[in-house]
Amino acid sequence: MKKALMVWGGWDGHEPRQCVELLAPVLKHEGFDVEISTTLDAYLDEARMKSLSLIVQCWTMGTITKEQEKALLATVKSGVGMAGWHGGMCDAFRQNCDYQFMTGGQWVAHPGGIVDYTVNITNKTDPITRGLNDFKMHSEHYYMHTDPGNEVLATTTFTEGFDAPWVVGAVMPQVWKRKWGAGRIFYSALGHTAVDFETPEVKEIMRRGMLWAAR
């Protein structure tokens, strides 16, 4: 049986426990043995890490030790997949550039806070987004610094600047995949809180992304 480790913590505003508890049954339904941890020390258990197919992290901000980061990066590089969403993956450990290099992006702003916006499916043939159409969101509109090497599957365009009018017209990646060594990385900027996953496309993209990332 494939094994997945889900790690949650950090800032409570992103409802990490609620989101992980919502998505853990999705993985179990897909045949994964799912373990949930609330400590980054989980990354230091070498035997457990080697046994995994997938790491799913929801840990906004916070800090990670050099030893924890080194173990995580090495595990993914060896072939274990990693998947995450919103700030739980790409606004974690703001001081750790190597971690950001692995994930392919870093949150920097959400002009206007909670707003209405559109997510545009830009790759309609990839298995993660195939058959899905553009859809509306009412949530944080993530503005990010992203790696040009990402394989972008969906974007959003800032049609209003709110408190940052100079971003109007910016096309921002929202869903992507990439490699880190032999490991697959999947990220979705969607999923500010658990209610976002009530949007069918958000939950389905995350389900497909986790399955794609898993070795």
Q: Say how far apart CA 79 and CA 115 lie, in whole Å.
A: 37
- CA pair distance 135, 53, nearest whole angstrom: 30
Greatest Cα pair distance in the chain: 50
171's tokens: 């096309």
pLDDT digits (tens, 9 = 90+) for 86-123: 999 999 999 999 999 999 999 999 999 999 999 999 99
Identify whether the C-beta of residue 51 lies closer than 8 Å to the C-beta of residue 42: no
pLDDT in tens, 30-52: 999 999 999 999 999 999 999 99
The burial class, CB within 10 Å (0-12 / 13-18 / 19+), for 107 is buried
Q: Return the beta strands (E) in 169-212 as ranges.
A: 171-180, 183-188
Domains of the chain: 2-213 (3.40.50.880)
Q: List the structure tokens of 21.
A: 């508890």
Q: Are the C-beta atoms of 159 and 188 separated by less than 8 Å?
A: no
- Dihedral of CA 193/26/17/95: which sign? negative
pLDDT digits (tens, 9 = 90+) for 153-183: 999 999 998 999 999 999 999 999 999 999 9
pTM recorded for the entire structure: 0.98
Q: Which residues have a Cβ under 8 Å from the Cβ of 150 and sit 6 or more positions away? A: 104, 105, 173, 176, 177, 178
